[in-house]
Chain A
Amino acid sequence: MTDSTSQGVRVAIGGSTQIRCVVNGEAVIIETEVRRSLSDVIRQELGLTGTHLGCEHGVCGACTVLLDGEPVRSCLMLGVQADGTEITTIEGLADGDIYHPVQQAMHDSHGFQCAFCAPGFLMTTVALLERNPHPSEEEIRNELSGNLCRCTGYQSIIDGVTQAVVLIDAADNAITNATEAGNG
């Protein structure tokens, strides 16, 4: 359906096109309908069902993924807009069986109850702590205000983010100490 004779991409109504991106470190080529959202591409074409769809129109934040390292709502993007980008989903956080510190902290803090909203909160938190490793509680609340949770009342999630800061600091200190010991 793609007409490659024109300068840019052109796809007819109801048509599909090919997109290339890197998802959780792996290069993928996907044939997808242009009307399909990035969230549906992730879930249905790639089978990565950890990304959840709550509202499908950009209000709840459950579908948040990282696009070139920055949080975006995958339901507010067409898959075709992600052509040429690098995407990290919730499946890309853990290192094998070892949780990402943010996942571990949320687990330790009993951050979630039903956890439908968890992938969005986790991806948003990972991006927040990359940008600001020591946020105040107000900053945490502001940055997470675009993610809705209908179970917890948020306090346990805020506790989880606070705990994640502690875990990441501890890991950083361990690396620093190990390096210094090695140098000594």
Chain B
Amino acid sequence: MKSPAFAYARPESLDEAFQLLAEHEDAKIMAGGQSLLPVLALRLGSPELIVDISRISGLDTIDVDADGNLTIGAMVRHSAVEESDDVAVFAPLVAEAAPYIGHRAIRNRGTTVGSIAHADPAAEMPAVCLATDAVMIAQSPRGRREIPAAEFFVGFLETALEADEILIAVRFPAVPVGTTGSVVELSRRHGDYALVGLATRLLVANEVITDAALAFLSVGPTAVRVSEAEAVLVGERPSAELFNEAARVVSATLQPAADVHASANYRKHLAGVLTRRGLARAIARLDVSI
């Protein structure tokens, strides 16, 4: 379908964007538009004003600070993240997730931060943010606010952002030595939304898992970590038995919904399969034999 009518603004500064948000109660920020335009085309939403932030300078950079924290600005497109050497080195889970996002034509327009702000539970980046303890950087006329990923995704397509805030960047914390991880998912075709997906992060010291994150996508209204299964892993040596137990806990804990693509039980089963697969892939990268 054709989009409903809306007003359009393309500000050239954040201050101008904040002013537009203040003047319009029903304004929607657009970065790459790859989530917003389908919403408009399907008439699932009809904002009064679209604020196109693509021409605001300074939002399209990938920066690494002296401590190794990597920050991705609001206008950095998925394709740039996918091809960035800095992302590959300093935020390897983000780099691994990028090729799973849609198709190349989508990644050429869509942005990483836009995907996070959209908070689709079937998207990859929210799960990666949870797995890596990423920090969302929101700005408003009231100042700058940092929101941990664990507090950011509050519901289906719903985040902790206030109406006057713009998500201007996401920061992925430096990766300590001994960190490994993986991104695995199952979808019917390459580029389709995943039936279930998993971003895994492990910290291993002296062959013992000292920290674990298992963040799933497509299993509920938001991306979600399974702390019960993470607790199974921490303090233990990696082994096939341990991973089987973590998988069992994951399948028992998650409460995914059924839809036309998969039943709830099938999703629980797949989540267990991915747990074993994701953990094994992460550990294999450390060259630890199990």
Chain A residues packing against B (C-beta within 8 Å): 6-15, 17, 33-37, 40, 56-58, 61, 64, 67, 70-73, 75-78, 80-81, 124, 127, 141-143, 145-146
Chain B contact residue count (CB 8 A cutoff): 38
A7 touches B16 (CB 8 A): yes
Interface residue B55 (Cβ < 8 Å from any Cβ of A): yes
Interface residue B7 (Cβ < 8 Å from any Cβ of A): yes
B103 touches A146 (CB 8 A): yes
Q: How far is the CA of A6 from the CA of B7 in the complex (A)?
A: 15
Binds A, one of B30-38, B219-227, B256-264, B269-277: B30-38
Across the interface, which residues of A come within 8 angstroms of B4, CB to CB? 35
A146 touches B7 (CB 8 A): no
Across the interface, which residues of B come within 8 angstroms of A81, CB to CB? 33, 52, 54
Across the interface, which residues of A come within 8 angstroms of B2, CB to CB? 35-37, 40, 56
Interchain Cβ contacts under 8 Å between A and B, 23 examples: A7-B12, A7-B16, A9-B8, A10-B9, A11-B7, A13-B5, A13-B6, A13-B7, A15-B8, A34-B7, A35-B8, A57-B38, A57-B42, A58-B34, A58-B38, A73-B109, A78-B3, A80-B52, A124-B105, A127-B104, A143-B104, A145-B191, A146-B105
Which one of B5, B8, B104, B191 has the highest number of Cβ atoms from chain A below 10 Å of its Cβ? B8
A146 touches B12 (CB 8 A): no
Across the interface, which residues of A come within 8 angstroms of B142, CB to CB? none
Whether A75 contacts B41 in the complex (CB less than 8 A), given A34-B6, A61-B105, A81-B33, comes out as yes
Residue in chain B with minimal CB distance to A33: B5
B37 touches A37 (CB 8 A): yes
Interface residue B79 (Cβ < 8 Å from any Cβ of A): yes
At the interface, is chain A mostly helix, strand, loop or mixed?
A: mixed
Across the interface, which residues of B come within 8 angstroms of A17, CB to CB? 8
Chain B residues packing against A (C-beta within 8 Å): 1-13, 16, 33-34, 37-38, 40-42, 48-50, 52, 54-55, 79, 102-106, 108-109, 189-191
Q: How far is the CA of A16 from the CA of B41 in the complex (A)?
A: 18
Across the interface, which residues of A come within 8 angstroms of B34, CB to CB? 58, 76
**A180 CB to nearest chain B CB (Å):** 34
B109 touches A72 (CB 8 A): yes
Whether A145 contacts B12 in the complex (CB less than 8 A), given A13-B48, A61-B103, A81-B33, comes out as no
Q: How far is the CA of A95 from the CA of B62 in the complex (A)?
A: 39
Residue in chain A with minimal CB distance to B16: A7
Q: How far is the CA of A136 from the CA of B5 in the complex (A)?
A: 44
Across the interface, which residues of A come within 8 angstroms of B190, CB to CB? 141-142, 145
